């Protein structure tokens, strides 16, 4: 049986494996974080702040991570970022106070930004332009599968000990860091980087240059919408909607999240191949259209089956938007541009942060329907931006088109 990643550079498999290990550990840790914070006798709001501070520090430190990538190189920043998250997680598990836990989780957010920006930058650097969609799909699949598997282990582990998940997360990061250090330091990668440094496009693309490109701006809007709709609303508002809006049991939330994740996983790889062969623009448009439809279906859902249809649409839309926007960014920066990559990641983080807050306010003041219609509106703005953008997939030179 043909292996899907066989024709891609080996670094893609390595980075996908690293992403899986990181997401697996985070999935194991996530259920324990607020419960562990409550052990220090704090309020629910303070316990939630331990979760929020990680995302906040990830967001504010992303520009620094981008500049470090441009100055120090992807591999050093990647290893340092994983190390910071690992050490901070280990120490967080040993926390003796709420303040210590809060500070250490914030430090972990800084390391996470360094890892995410450098890993994506390296991914775009080691592949050919006609492989960017597939490489992005493989990398995102590593995160997705790890994120699905993690909670299955995290729940029982949390029931046994609230500190143990922090140590397990540190261990998975140690594995990820070791895999990256060993396999990303091979001579093949150094030779490829040396060849690129001698080429005309060696200098990183400045952020201001990327921002002038309408396709890059469309990628930012789409990544914001993806963060809002999929990572924000799907994880925060959907569980409330299932119980309070539809009157269904908590198991339906699990069914919906599983359907969304499975559809997303199934679509990621073919979406990457199609984006590489037929262009980025059609699939960015298709993803935004599916995300818009998902919000609309969710807004009018009155039953479990309709809810599952909406979640499937969310999964497919996220996959299409994820691989196509990543490929667009790689095309615009020519494979290098830490600050442009950091801004792209920040767009998703901003959507993930703003989506639950604003949609939550709408659901409280008006209705769940209004909240989901706002989600559809954000995705519709991304669709408009995608309709106006030019195609960015490089056209192979005539000499490479061998009959």
Structural domain boundaries in the chain: 10-197, 207-392
Measured between alpha carbons, how far is 10 from 144 in angstroms, rounded to an integer?
20
The CA angle 351-357-361, to the nearest 5 degrees, is 135
Q: Collapsing DSSP states into helix, strand and coil, what is residue 41?
A: coil
Q: What is the pLDDT of residue 398?
A: 47
CATH architecture for segment(s) 10-197: Up-down Bundle (1.20)
Q: What is the pLDDT of residue 100?
A: 92
336 is written with which tokens?
Answer: 């290098």
Question: Dihedral of CA 295/296/300/302: which sign?
Answer: negative
Lowest mean pLDDT among 101-105, 167-171, 241-245, 297-301: 241-245
Mean pLDDT (whole number) for 101-117? 88
Q: What is the pLDDT of residue 158?
A: 72
Within 227-365, residue ranges assigned H as helices are: 234-240, 250-278, 281-300, 304-333, 338-365
pLDDT band at 289 (very low <50, low <70, confident <90, very high): very high
394 secondary structure, DSSP code: P
Full-model pTM? 0.79
The reply to whether 207-392 shares the fold of 10-197 is: yes
Instruction: Tell me the per-residue pLDDT of 349-389, one tens digit each, with 9 for 90 and over.
Output: 888 777 777 777 787 788 888 888 888 999 999 999 999 88
Q: What is the pLDDT of residue 383?
A: 93
Measured between alpha carbons, how far is 278 from 273 in angstroms, rounded to an integer?
8
Measured between alpha carbons, how far is 219 from 237 in angstroms, rounded to an integer?
25
Q: Percentage of the chain with pLDDT > 70? A: 89
* Cβ pair 24, 76 in contact under 8 A: no
Any residues with CB less than 8 A from the CB of 209 and at least 6 apart, and which?
none
Q: Which CATH superfamily is domain 207-392 in?
A: MFS general substrate transporter like domains (1.20.1250.20)
Classify the phi-psi angles of 3: left when phi > 0, otherwise alpha if psi is within -120 to 50, otherwise beta.
beta
Q: What is the pLDDT of residue 275?
A: 85
Mean pLDDT (whole number) for 237-250? 76
């Amino acid at each position: 049986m043909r292996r899907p990643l066989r024709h891609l550079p080996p670094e893609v498999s390595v980075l996908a494996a690293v992403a899986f290990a990181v997401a697996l550990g985070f999935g194991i840790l996530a259920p324990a974080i607020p419960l562990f914070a409550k052990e220090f006798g704090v309020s629910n709001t303070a316990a939630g702040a331990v979760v929020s501070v990680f995302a906040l520090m990830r967001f504010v430190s992303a520009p620094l991570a981008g500049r470090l990538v441009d100055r120090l190189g992807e591999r050093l920043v990647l290893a340092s970022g994983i190390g910071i998250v690992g050490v901070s997680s280990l120490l967080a598990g040993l926390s003796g106070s709420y303040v210590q836990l809060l500070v250490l989780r914030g430090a972990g957010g800084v390391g996470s930004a360094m890892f995410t920006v450098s890993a994506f930058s390296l991914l775009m650097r080691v592949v050919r332009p006609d492989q960017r969609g597939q490489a992005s799909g493989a990398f995102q699949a590593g995160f997705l599968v790890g994120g699905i598997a993690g909670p299955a282990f995290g729940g029982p582990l949390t029931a046994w000990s609230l500190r143990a998940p922090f140590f397990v997360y540190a261990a998975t990061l140690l594995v990820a860091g070791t895999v990256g250090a060993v396999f990303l330091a091979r001579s093949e990668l150094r030779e490829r980087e040396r060849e690129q440094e001698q080429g005309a496009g060696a200098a990183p693309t400045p952020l201001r240059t990327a921002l002038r490109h309408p396709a890059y701006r469309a990628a930012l809007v789409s990544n914001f919408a993806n963060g809002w709709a999929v990572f924000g609303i799907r994880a925060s508002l959907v569980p409330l909607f299932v119980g309070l809006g539809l009157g269904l049991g908590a198991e339906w939330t699990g069914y919906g999240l599983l359907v969304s994740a499975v559809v997303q996983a199934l679509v990621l790889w073919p979406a990457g191949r199609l984006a590489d062969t037929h262009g980025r623009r059609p699939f960015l448009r298709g993803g935004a259209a599916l995300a818009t439809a998902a919000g609309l279906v969710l807004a009018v859902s009155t039953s479990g089956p309709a809810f599952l249809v909406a979640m499937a649409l969310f999964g497919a839309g996220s996959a299409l938007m994820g691989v196509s926007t990543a490929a667009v960014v790689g095309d615009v920066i020519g494979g290098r541009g830490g600050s442009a990559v950091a801004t792209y990641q920040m767009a998703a983080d901003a959507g993930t942060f703003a989506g639950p807050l604003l949609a939550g306010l709408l659901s409280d003041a008006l209705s769940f329907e209004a909240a989901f219609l706002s989600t559809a509106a954000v995705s519709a703005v991304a669709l408009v931006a995608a309709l106006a953008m030019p195609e960015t997939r490089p056209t192979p030179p005539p000499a490479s088109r061998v009959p």
